[in-house]
């Protein structure tokens, strides 16, 4: 099968398309023929070795964290899926590899594809959908009537998180460029701030929750718009001691993360707000809940461009540019 392979971190060629054997599903796994895959900034960070300390992948490996496709084979013990099912997933860490024609995925990571979505639309959902779900619902415990600030509203996570927050009954503020104002308003944003000319810290105050996806300066300002007892959940770092314990990190990694997040945690404590880092996890059950919302018309995926498989490097470069509105997808079949 064809696959996009990383032979070396920070390689000049940025990875290559090559031939590898079709995987055989183990017990509890499902073999999926991939029709489409989503591109995420996470793919770029892993390719460059930026996340090597958190996710040490053995070279060579196949990149990719989003898939939509069809079940072609099931391993021993699989009960929820059968050959011919249309499915989608964000495979678990250390089991990634969706930039390929086939992948063996744990049954627990899979969900049935939303019925009205194309394969390309479905492939745009898992990672950003699960990130929004785990930030707003699992960690943030967002309630009706609360106020949430979602940064970069026109991005992959932002476009999904705005819709989910509105469904939960929250008031949503976001940042974007003037060109994307109508897009985020249509998704449900109540307060839209043009980050190129306005300072959100001067406009927003008394917020219950912030979903941070930007740099350290933006994070610090975001802590100050929270009301006492409010929460900031960051998907862009710095990783904290709780996350280090969660992944069973070695003592020196735990120490490194403690030092890395010390200043942020100190500032949060001084302001009487909570800071936590989120590195989303694969979860087929949560993805099934997301499927229900999509099938009910409550959430719709936002896609920017669809690239052919042979242009996968160009697709990653486009995502790295930060210009994408919603998600970028690669058509595999």
pLDDT at 19: 98
The CA-atom distances, in angstroms, between 204 and each of 171, 192, 226 are: 12, 11, 9
pLDDT at 12 over 90: no
pLDDT at 54 over 90: no
Q: Which CATH class is domain 128-277?
A: alpha beta
Q: Assign 1 a pLDDT band (cuts: 50, 70, 90).
A: very high
DSSP state of 92: P
Mean pLDDT (whole number) for 124-150: 98
> Which regions of 107-223 does DSSP assign to beta strands (E)?
110-112, 147-150, 171-176, 191-194, 207-212
pTM more than 0.85: yes
> For residue range 143-170, what is the model confidence (pLDDT) as tens digits?
999 999 999 999 999 999 999 999 999 9
Q: What is the CATH number of domain 2-125+301-331?
A: 3.90.180.10
* Contact indicator for 149, 135 with CB cutoff of 8 Å: no
3-state DSSP helix/strand/coil % of the chain, to nearest 5: 35, 25, 40
Domain with CATH 3.90.180.10 in the chain: 2-125+301-331
- Label the pairing between strands 102-106 and 29-39: antiparallel
Domain with CATH 3.40.50.720 in the chain: 128-277
> For residue range 258-287, what is the model confidence (pLDDT) as tens digits?
999 999 999 999 999 999 999 999 999 999
Number of neighbours of residue 33 by Cβ within 10 angstroms? 18
Dig out the tokens for 261 from the structure.
């997040």
d(CA 327, CA 227): 32
pLDDT at 227: 98
> For residue range 14-46, what is the model confidence (pLDDT) as tens digits?
999 999 999 999 999 999 999 999 999 999 999
pLDDT at 136: 98
């Amino acid at each position: 099968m064809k696959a996009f392979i990383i032979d070396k971190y920070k390689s000049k060629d940025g990875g290559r398309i090559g031939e590898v054997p079709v995987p055989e599903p183990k017990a509890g796994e499902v073999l999926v023929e991939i029709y489409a895959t989503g591109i995420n900034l996470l793919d770029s960070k892993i390719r460059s070795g930026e996340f090597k300390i958190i996710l040490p992948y053995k070279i060579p490996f196949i990149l990719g964290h989003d898939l939509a496709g069809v079940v072609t084979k099931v391993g021993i013990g699989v009960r929820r899926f059968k050959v011919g099912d249309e499915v989608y997933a964000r495979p678990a860490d250390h089991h990634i590899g969706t930039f390929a024609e086939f992948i063996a995925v744990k049954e627990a990571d899979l969900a049935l594809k939303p019925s009205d979505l194309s394969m390309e639309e479905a492939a745009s959902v898992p990672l950003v959908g699960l990130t929004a779900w785990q930030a707003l619902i699992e960690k943030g415990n967002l309630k009706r009537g609360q106020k949430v600030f979602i940064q970069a509203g026109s991005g992959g996570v932002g476009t999904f998180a705005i819709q989910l927050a509105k469904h939960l009954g929250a008031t949503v503020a976001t940042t974007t460029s003037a060109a994307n104002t109508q897009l985020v308003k249509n998704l449900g944003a109540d307060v839209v701030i043009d980050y190129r000319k306005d300072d959100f810290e001067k406009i927003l105050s008394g917020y219950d929750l912030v979903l941070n996806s930007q740099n350290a300066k933006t994070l610090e300002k975001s802590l100050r718009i929270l009301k006492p007892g409010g929460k900031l959940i960051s998907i862009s770092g710095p990783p904290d001691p709780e996350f280090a314990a969660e992944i069973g990190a070695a003592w020196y990694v735990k120490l490194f993360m403690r030092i890395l997040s010390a200043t942020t945690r100190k500032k949060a404590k001084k302001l009487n707000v909570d800071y936590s880092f989120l590195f989303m996890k694969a979860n087929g059950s949560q993805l099934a809940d997301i499927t229900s919302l999509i099938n009910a018309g409550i959430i719709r995926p936002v896609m920017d461009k669809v690239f052919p498989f042979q242009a996968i490097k160009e697709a990653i470069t486009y995502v790295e540019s930060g210009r994408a509105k919603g998600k970028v997808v690669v058509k595999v079949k």
